[in-house]
């Protein structure tokens, strides 16, 4: 994670200079929160960082995994060499899918593609990931086509949830760090070395970017980054939950992603419903996101972002115990999540009433 963080710092700084030099910037607009010109290119750094580390690690293991060559790493590492080698082909396929989303986001940042074109590519990538790379839920249904379709819907939902979250400095990347850290904890507790290592690389990548993106942001990730970030979070949530959490023999641990992603999903669902109720397209950007509505209560950008970080932590931390508790404990965890979201809703309603009174 530390190596990933350092490389991400360097790549993000380089991407920022490149964006300023080439005019690849985000300009103020009516449907954008930022009121200043900010360089894009953070997504390029995020993708490049992930690709470099994944490809480098795969090359090291594949070409040096011969007796004696990796012994200096220690037995605690070399014992997993064979398992890692068995997953390299699948990992390379996932990286190709990430590259497709990266190109899609980069094209959208430059040319502003239509929403249905983006959704079509996202579903194609999600279905490919679920069916061919086994990034899918398998707990309740044994039919591969059905589970692939259900998983593809989840992947596209999370991609767009984090794309929607990219509406304020430091928000999408910070919440991705928190949710991924919680998923890493669950993976570590269950001995998932491969997915845990991938999570650490991802977290380090985001932290390096976040050093430049925390309010006031010096660089944005754009759709180039948010699509990649959302996809990685979706992959971590599926692999962590549905492959080891169900070993307890209980059914409710498979709902862990819903609890961990409660805040991102609340933002996605609430802003979508608001737009539909106002007769607008849910795909057209505006400044009605959860973060914008909270900020209207008088908070600064930093206070707003930290508030949403805290809300995500509150809902996510308890989710790590879902596979350890009985049904009564699970109900309490779900109830706590709902109550946190209700507090948020009440807070927003108070803002609206105050405005109406004035």
Token readout for 211 is 């050093």
Question: What pLDDT sits at residue 255?
Answer: 81
Distance (Å, whole) CA 278 – CA 262: 24
Bridging pattern class, strands 38-39 and 25-26:
antiparallel
pTM for the whole thing?
0.90
Tens place of pLDDT per residue across the chain (358 aa): 999 999 999 999 999 999 999 999 887 765 565 667 899 999 999 999 999 999 998 888 777 665 556 666 666 666 777 777 888 899 999 999 999 999 999 999 998 888 899 999 999 999 999 999 999 876 667 788 999 999 999 999 999 999 999 989 999 999 999 999 999 988 888 788 889 999 999 999 999 999 999 999 999 999 999 999 999 999 999 988 544 444 555 677 778 889 999 999 999 999 899 888 888 878 777 778 888 888 888 888 999 999 999 999 999 888 877 777 788 888 999 999 999 999 888 887 775 444 544 4
**DSSP type of residue 217:** P
Question: What pLDDT sits at residue 358?
Answer: 46
101-113: burial string, b at 16+ Cβ within 10 Å, e else: bbebbbbbbeeee
Q: Is the preceding omega at residue 216 within 30 degrees of 0, hence cis?
A: yes
Question: What pLDDT sits at residue 187?
Answer: 85
Q: What Å distances lie between residue 154 and 129, 146, 147, 208, 254, CA to CA?
A: 12, 13, 11, 27, 13
User: Which of 15, 239, 291, 8 has its CA nearest to residue 130?
Assistant: 239
| Cβ 320 vs Cβ 186: under 8 Å | yes
Interhelix angle 171-189/301-317, nearest 10 degrees: 20
Distance (Å, whole) CA 175 – CA 46: 15
């Amino acid at each position: 994670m530390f190596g990933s963080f350092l490389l991400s710092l360097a790549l993000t700084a380089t991407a920022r200079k490149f964006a300023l030099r080439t005019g690849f910037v985000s300009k103020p607009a009516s449907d954008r929160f930022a009121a200043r010109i900010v360089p894009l290119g953070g997504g390029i750094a995020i993708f490049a960082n992930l690709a470099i580390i994944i490809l480098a690690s795969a090359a090291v293991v594949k070409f040096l995994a011969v007796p004696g060559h990796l012994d200096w790493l220690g037995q605690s590492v070399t014992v997993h060499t064979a398992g890692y080698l068995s997953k390299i082909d699948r990992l390379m396929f996932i990286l190709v899918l990430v590259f497709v989303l990266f190109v899609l986001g980069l094209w959208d940042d430059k040319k502003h593609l239509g929403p249905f074109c983006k959704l079509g590519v996202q579903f194609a990538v999600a279905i490919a990931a679920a069916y061919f790379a086994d990034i899918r839920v398998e707990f309740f249904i044994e039919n591969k086509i059905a589970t692939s379709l259900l998983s593809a819907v989840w992947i596209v939902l999370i991609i767009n949830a984090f794309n929607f979250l990219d509406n304020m400095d430091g928000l999408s990347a910070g919440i991705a760090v928190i949710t991924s850290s919680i998923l890493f904890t669950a993976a570590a507790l269950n001995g998932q070395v491969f997915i845990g290592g991938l999570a650490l690389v991802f977290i380090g990548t985001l932290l390096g970017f976040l050093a430049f993106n925390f309010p006031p942001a010096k660089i944005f990730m754009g759709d180039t980054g948010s699509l990649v970030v959302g996809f990685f979070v979706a992959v971590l949530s599926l692999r962590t939950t549905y492959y080891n959490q169900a070993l307890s023999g209980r059914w409710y641990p498979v709902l862990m992603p819903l609890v961990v992603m409660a805040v991102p999903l609340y933002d996605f669902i609430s802003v979508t419903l608001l737009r539909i109720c106002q007769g607008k397209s849910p795909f057209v950007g505006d400044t009605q996101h959860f973060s914008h509505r909270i900020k209207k209560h008088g908070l600064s950008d930093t206070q707003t972002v930290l508030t949403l970080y805290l809300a995500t932590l509150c809902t996510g931390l308890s989710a790590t115990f879902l596979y350890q508790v009985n049904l009564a404990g699970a109900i309490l965890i779900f109830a706590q999540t709902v109550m946190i979201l209700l507090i948020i809703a009440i807070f927003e309603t108070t803002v609206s009433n105050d405005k109406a009174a004035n």
